[in-house]
């Protein structure tokens, strides 16, 4: 048993949606450190380009701006990626949105925006990229990692109805997709993050010292925590983890 290569991503290509900031950036930097060629996508082109420029200090990183909340944007991203690579080893469906509003006032726009990006997009982007994932799955397995949330597992006090529903749906969708894509040597799994500093989780970003008392680990998540989870699932080390969701939350879901 040679364990020295278990976590290597040397020579593999990865596409990370929502890769310009937060969890997507953490994962992208981790993949680069393990030798992968990383392509990041985000809706805001300037931010995506700037992050790719910064991450290029660690390896091959290319910006592919796109809005994957629509099928048109999804297909545009696939075409942009195909201009660089013929196959895809790792897809990380990380792009996401949240919306909070009181139950009596929650708008349809807040439902559709969140569910389209958090739940519909991972399915149709994976579907469109399946031929490239299959082409990569030769001497190793191709990987799809969906970024869910602990809010899809346990309920928090915030009135983020469409977000919680979309992340719970993504966890179950991960199971269903895993069963179908296993025959094509594509492994589908998910990560459910807890409190990590990001533009979406401003509480963790701006009030980490206040909320860490509610986290059994005594701190919010650090970039290395997220990178390690994604590297595990993306590499040979995670080949036998199919359809499962890895909870990375410092124990919060057990304390709620």
Q: 28 and 16 in contact (C-beta within 8 Å)?
A: yes
Summarised one tens digit per residue, pLDDT across range 176-194 is: 999 999 999 999 999 999 9
Catalytic residue among 39, 81, 163, 232: 163
* Domain span including residue 190: 3-255
Please tell me the total count of domains within the chain: 1
Cβ(47)–Cβ(224) below 8 Å:
no
Secondary structure of residue 128 in the 3-state scheme: helix
- Percent of the chain scored above 70 by pLDDT? 95
Nearest CA among 95, 18, 93, 30 for reference residue 228: 30
Gap between the Cα atoms of 61 and 170, Å rounded: 27
**Domain of 78: which CATH number?**
3.40.50.720
Find residue 62's DSSP bridge partners. 39
Q: Tokens in use for 197?
A: 């500093």
163 is known as an active-site residue: yes
Cα–Cα distances (Å) from 209 to 22, 145, 195, 213, in that order, read 18, 30, 12, 8
Ranges under pLDDT 50 in the chain:
205-207
Compute the residue count for the chain: 256
β-sheet with 186-193: strand ranges across = 61-63, 37-41, 13-17, 90-93, 142-147, 186-193, 245-248
Q: What is the pLDDT of residue 202?
A: 57
Calpha distance 208→218 (Å, rounded): 10
- Nearest CA to 174 out of 155, 187, 157, 158 is that of 187
d(CA 100, CA 107): 10
Rounded-to-integer distance, Cα 156 and Cα 138, Å: 42
CA 16 to chain centre: 7
Residues 6+ apart with CB under 8 A from 210: none
Distance CA 69, CA 96 (A): 9
């Amino acid at each position: 048993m040679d364990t020295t290569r278990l976590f290597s991503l040397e020579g593999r290509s990865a596409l990370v949606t929502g890769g310009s900031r937060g969890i997507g950036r953490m994962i992208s930097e981790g993949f680069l450190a393990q030798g992968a060629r990383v392509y990041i996508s985000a809706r805001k082109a300037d931010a995506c380009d700037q992050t790719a420029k910064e991450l290029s200090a660690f390896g091959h990183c290319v910006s592919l701006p796109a809005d994957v909340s629509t099928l048109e944007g999804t297909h545009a991203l696939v075409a942009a990626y195909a201009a660089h690579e013929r196959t895809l080893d790792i897809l990380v469906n990380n792009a996401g949105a949240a919306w909070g509003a009181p139950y009596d006032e929650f708008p349809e726009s807040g439902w559709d925006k969140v569910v389209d990006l958090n739940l519909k997009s991972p399915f149709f982007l994976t579907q469109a990229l399946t031929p490239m994932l299959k082409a990569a799955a030769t001497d190793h397995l191709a990987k799809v990692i969906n970024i869910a949330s602990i809010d899809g597992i346990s309920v928090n006090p915030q009135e983020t109805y469409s977000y919680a529903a979309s992340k719970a749906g993504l966890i179950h969708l991960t199971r269903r997709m895993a069963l179908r894509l296993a025959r094509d040597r594509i492994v589908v799994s998910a990560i459910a993050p807890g409190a990590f500093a990001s533009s979406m989780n401003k509480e963790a970003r701006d009030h980490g010292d206040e909320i860490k008392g509610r986290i059994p680990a005594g701190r919010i998540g650090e970039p290395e925590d997220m990178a390690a989870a994604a590297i595990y699932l993306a590499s040979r080390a995670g080949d036998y983890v199919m359809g499962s969701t890895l909870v990375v939350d410092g124990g919060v879901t057990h304390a709620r």
